[in-house]
């Protein structure tokens, strides 16, 4: 499995759809995922360290998991079929691993809150992970884009 980090979440400038960008530890490869607006907000709140006065849905889920004596072990992007990603959350409870099917965006939002690692399964890495070529003329521009990217870059001006 390939361990990934959440680089940024926001709105794609061309499609205006919410997107989360996962990168490897060296930021040499990435996985872009189109997600829902509520999940984009849930992920952005964690990335920006925003405190909310009341628990949101992912906070409630994490609090419930912990209250039941389990911990979030990891989130894994497990499959890619017809341009749709699939994911699992792995929990540890009483020495056993419990796997739950979920949307990748929910898995990411919960893993971030729990401080759990996020992985891409090897069986989809060849199709899901984008590795820009060194001779790719857009590589320098893309890396510069990633380095300077912040969630504020994706917010619409109201």
Q: Residue 125 domain-assigned? A: yes
Give yes or no for residue 66 having a pLDDT over 80: yes
Whether 109 and 58 have beta carbons less than 8 Å apart is answered as yes
Count of beta carbons in the 10 Å neighbourhood of residue 31:
23
Give yes or no for residue 64 having a pLDDT over 60: yes
Of residues 14 and 140, the one with the higher pLDDT is 14
What are the residue ranges of helices labelled H in the chain?
37-47, 57-67, 104-114, 122-128, 139-148
Distance between start and end Cα atoms, the chain: 41
Closest CA to 18 of 47, 52, 51, 42: 42
Number of domains into which the chain is organized: 1
Range of the domain at 139: 2-150
Q: Residue 158 domain-assigned? A: no
| Residue showing tokens 């209250």 | 67
User: Mean of the pLDDT values across residues 79-94?
Assistant: 94
The dihedral region occupied by 91, where left means phi > 0, alpha psi between -120 and 50, and beta the remainder, is beta
Q: Residue 117 domain-assigned? A: yes
Q: Residue 92 domain-assigned? A: yes
Query: What's the mean per-residue pLDDT of the chain?
Result: 86
Rounded Cα distance between 120 and 144, Å, is: 24
Of residues 129 and 101, the one with the higher pLDDT is 101
Q: What is the pLDDT of residues 119-130, one digit of tens each?
A: 999 888 777 777
Whether 104 and 119 have beta carbons less than 8 Å apart is answered as no
Q: Residue 84 domain-assigned? A: yes
**What's the pLDDT band for 107 if we cut at 50, 70, 90?**
very high
CA 16 to centroid of chain Cα atoms: 18
Q: Residue 157 domain-assigned? A: no
Q: What CATH number should be reported for the domain holding residue 106? A: 3.10.690.10
Of residues 52 and 146, the one with the higher pLDDT is 52
pTM: 0.81
Q: Residue 25 domain-assigned? A: yes
| Residue showing tokens 């965006």 | 105
Whether 27 and 146 have beta carbons less than 8 Å apart is answered as yes
Q: Residue 131 domain-assigned? A: yes
Degrees, nearest 5: CA angle 82-111-71? 125
């Amino acid at each position: 499995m390939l361990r990934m980090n959440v680089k940024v979440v926001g709105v794609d400038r061309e499609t205006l759809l919410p997107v989360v960008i996962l990168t490897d530890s060296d930021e040499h490869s990435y996985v872009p995922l189109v997600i829902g607006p509520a999940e984009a907000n849930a992920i952005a709140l964690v990335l920006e360290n925003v405190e909310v006065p009341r628990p949101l849905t992912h906070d409630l889920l994490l609090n419930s998991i912990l209250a039941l004596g389990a911990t979030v072990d990891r989130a894994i992007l497990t499959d890619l079929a017809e341009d749709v990603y699939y994911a699992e959350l792995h929990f540890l409870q009483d020495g056993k691993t419990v796997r739950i099917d979920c949307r990748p965006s929910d898995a990411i939002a919960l893993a971030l809150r729990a401080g759990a690692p996020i992985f891409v399964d090897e069986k989809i890495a060849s199709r899901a992970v984008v590795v820009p070529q060194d001779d790719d003329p857009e590589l320098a521009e893309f890396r510069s884009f990633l380095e300077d990217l912040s969630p504020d870059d994706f917010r619409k001006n109201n």
